[in-house]
Structure 1
């Protein structure tokens, strides 16, 4: 964990250095950002990055309804399964997995 904090701090330092370099190279008539505006932009960017990395990777769904309502049929269509659904006896578990970039996602379904 300490390595991540240092890595993030190093990224923060590099980013703020780049922003100041760009600011110094602007012409006199250009609008310049204050240090507060730069800090707010950096904080917002880091928050978006953290939320994207630590977003939910596993979800659970409970499907409830009357007998013969089509719960299993709807789930088979959602998971793009070819076989015909059989009648559910009491409680059935199924899951779906997918990989989006480097993030793995799992959907647990109870019906």
Structure 2
């Protein structure tokens, strides 16, 4: 597990399109209540809550109670793991494309 004592893998958490959309929505605001998040989806409050729970388990979402309302906000730091993973493969493909380009130029000569 990572530094956040995550209960769920970040890659698993972002695998679902609904959860990726939740992350995007949370990235656009400082904090948002559950009922406002639910209004953005064609699913019930319970379904949205289940997705938020998965994101919380991965450390991507933080919540706090304000009266009877629960407000959510994004904790983007676990996304660094994904950024690092993608960066590695981006470098891998750039290197291989450069090699391919060199081979093609050598064949033309």
The TM-score normalised by the length of structure 1 is 0.22
Higher fraction of helix: 2
Determine which structure has greater relative contact order: mean sequence separation of CA pairs < 8 Å that are 6+ residues apart, divided by chain length: 2
Higher fraction of strand: 1
The TM-score normalised by the length of structure 2 is 0.23
